Structure 1
Amino acid sequence: MPALDGVRAIGILLVFVHHMITPVAFGGHVGVDVFFVLSGYLITDILLRERKAHGGIRLKRFYFRRAARLYPALLVVVAALLIPGALFAPSLGKYLLENVLAVTYTTPLALEISGGAAWAWRHTWSLGIEEMFYLVWPLLLMLVLGRGRAQGHLAGFAVGGGLALLLASVALEVAGQPGSLLLRSGGLFLGCALAIFLGRKQQVNVPAIAAWSGLALIGASVAGATIFHPASAAPVLMTGVGSVVIIAHLVQNRGGVLAGILGWAPLAYLGRISYELYLWHYPLLIILAWAFDADPIAVAWIAAPMSIGLAAVTHAFLAPRVERLKARVSG
């Protein structure tokens, strides 16, 4: 669906601008939470469709396809930036360590322990949370699916769990306590719940006004995270809810006005290369900032077009090869 690629584009644009104008405050970090909801929805929808078509979920196939989708681009970017980063990093040992954390998807665990040092690969915390989540989620689906009403209970559990995690983050922030990146996985739960709910219902009418309201809610979240920076737990929750409403509308109204706007070819293309752009833009920005001993915003005019170009080239080279690899295991 091109419109869902457009949703990806919204997420990457928010994160991209947020990083490129550092240290200027901008709440675009909530773009990650757009990705979380969309990822939870898409992965769960894929698993449910596989169960319907084949009578079960093939875990080895799922994990292999997941690795085939994510690892090639990650390894290419890590390898390409290894020497430049090592040359300019303030600490060679720390830089090499964060490369290891990135390729093992353990960055979020390290950030929880270290207190959030400014690393060139710290943005891979979101990838780490996703991969830890998807190690467990398919197993849970296998245990629950096929037990009648249990599927509805799982949807309720996912909604409750997602909201509980996001509300816990808000509560910690209000109490003046340190937050946790792990709590932002609540968006993944919300996306999973949406896929289960839509899979059980033949028709769900989410009107266009609700979807536009969801988009406005994300805009308000960005504004709130900008104004009240670094207080951002409530905007993260608002972004999750807004994303759910938008996705629910799009998958049921593929010919609507919003779907047409989000499916606009340039926007959809940006969404298709969003993973590669997410990988490239932040470490390239930080390494250039190290090289010129400057704030990221001072080198963004170099980093922004470079990262977009590199993302496009990486996607063009790897995407067909990844699809062939995934098709081989599917066969």
Structure 2
Amino acid sequence: MEGNRRIKGLDGLRGLAVLMVFIEHRMIYSHGFGNVGVRVFFVLSGFLIVGILHSERHLIEMRCRSLRSAILCFWERRVRRIFPIYYVVIAVFFIWFSRAGYSYVESGVYWHATFTTNIWTGVIRKDWSEASHFWTLATEEQFYLLAAPVLLFVPLKVHLRLSVFVLAVAIVTAICLYLLGANAVSIETFPMVAFGFLAAGGTLRLALDRIGRIGIIYLLSSAVLVVISIGCSWVLGSVEFYMVSAPLSLIAAIFLVGYIVTNQGSSFVGLLELRWLKYTGTISYGFYVLHAFFEMPDWALQLISAESGAYRELAYVVGSFLLSFGAAALSWHFLEKPILKRSPPREAITTSVA
């Protein structure tokens, strides 16, 4: 499987995932949607990032690239992709909390700025907060920081076993935390547990050549697992819900990504390639970062409907979505995309060690 070619459908899947997160954060009676969306994000990120690092390690073993240049190139591209809009939002967040009278400790700004929101949320607070959705970005940054040197240093033949090992350790860690009485937030945001979802995506990427084509039965199974995972939120407590929904949504995400990658000509992939959905996936990072801070203001809702009800709730959701989508589109076209375009091509950074 070629490491750098564009895989149809993955941008659309990102779009669906970020919409699921938005639905949970902005709609009542939608608990469970965001959990599935986040796990799809993690599996997809693990699939792509481990695939890139695996390809880079191949170049190192072929003596076409040095270990140092491969690590620096990988980190440089991650910084360009993630830092700009993130730190703009952190700066605004810092100013907003300062004016609201919160102390730096209460607002968690330092934790967000150092990509340790997962520690702040799961270990210190043990509860969600205004910007706790940053915990997923913290987890991914920590994974990138550790995975790059490890996967680029160890031989290719070890990569699959290493990914499976990390996944196994994540499962054991989640079970141990549950038995020790940790709450759902602490288990979900614990770094080693979350690394397991990324490692699952990496395992899929590394095992895909051996597995071969994934049939439509797996796509249908993923839909069933998603429905069951979301439905569990109605009948289980928060910790039990996590312990049941996490493996179900993880398997569903693996089936989804695997089906998309191995069935590029399918009707389902064609649906994911719809322009609006693909574009939503393209701006999904900015949308995810920004959506918690853009919601329909009360004065605008008052103009639409003075009384609470379904119509006002719908106006709130639609208005919040349009504001978040618009902000993400502006961020992509005027901040994120220009910075990515200035990134030097990978070939220019390649250093021959022959």
TM-score class, shorter: 0.7 to 0.9
* Residue number in structure 2 paired with 1:238: 248
- The answer as to 2:174 corresponding to 1:169 is yes
Q: Distance in 1 between matches of 2:237 and 2:22?
A: 17
* Residue number in structure 2 paired with 1:60: 72
Residues 175 and 208 from structure 1, CA distance in 2 versus in 1: closer, same or farther, beyond 3 angstroms?
same
How many residues are paired up? 315
* Residue number in structure 1 paired with 2:334: 317
Q: Is the 8 A contact 1:5 1:272 kept in 2?
A: yes
Residues 25 and 269 from structure 1, CA distance in 2 versus in 1: closer, same or farther, beyond 3 angstroms?
closer
Q: Distance in 2 between matches of 1:227 and 1:90?
A: 39
* Residue number in structure 2 paired with 1:91: 102
1:116-155 alignment runs, 5 A limit: 116-146=126-156, 150-151=157-158, 154-155=159-160
Amino acid at match of 1:93: Y
> What SS does structure 1 have at the residue aligned with 2:320?
helix
- The answer as to 2:36 corresponding to 1:26 is no
Q: Distance in 1 between matches of 2:146 and 2:230?
A: 31
Cα deviations across residues 27-58 of structure 1 (Å, max 9, x unaligned)?
Answer: 12311111111000100111222333545551
Unaligned runs of 5+ in 1: none
Cα deviations across residues 91-147 of structure 1 (Å, max 9, x unaligned)?
Answer: 24346x52332221011111233233442211111111111111111222123224x
26-35 or 43-52: bigger deviation: 43-52
- The answer as to 2:46 corresponding to 1:37 is no
How far off its partner does 1:80 sit? 4.0
Aligned identity (percent) is: 25
> What SS does structure 2 have at the residue aligned with 1:326?
coil
Structure number, greater radius of gyration: 2
Amino acid at match of 1:77: V
Residues 251 and 55 from structure 1, CA distance in 2 versus in 1: closer, same or farther, beyond 3 angstroms?
farther
TM-score calculated relative to the size of structure 1: 0.84
Residues 226 and 327 from structure 1, CA distance in 2 versus in 1: closer, same or farther, beyond 3 angstroms?
farther
Q: Is the 8 A contact 1:65 1:329 kept in 2?
A: no
Amino acid at match of 1:16: F
CA RMSD of aligned residues (A): 2.9
> What SS does structure 2 have at the residue aligned with 1:254?
coil
How far off its partner does 1:175 sit? 6.7
Unaligned runs of 5+ in 2: 1-6, 302-312, 349-354
How far off its partner does 1:3 sit? 0.5
> What SS does structure 2 have at the residue aligned with 1:232?
helix
How far off its partner does 1:25 sit? 5.2
Amino acid at match of 1:60: L
- The answer as to 2:219 corresponding to 1:211 is yes
- The answer as to 2:55 corresponding to 1:49 is yes
Q: Distance in 1 between matches of 2:237 and 2:18?
A: 20
* Residue number in structure 1 paired with 2:81: 69
> What SS does structure 1 have at the residue aligned with 2:342?
helix
Q: Distance in 1 between matches of 2:139 and 2:335?
A: 24
Q: Distance in 2 between matches of 1:325 and 1:32?
A: 29
Cα deviations across residues 146-204 of structure 1 (Å, max 9, x unaligned)?
Answer: 4xxx33xx313422431442454256447744342121321011011112223xx3771
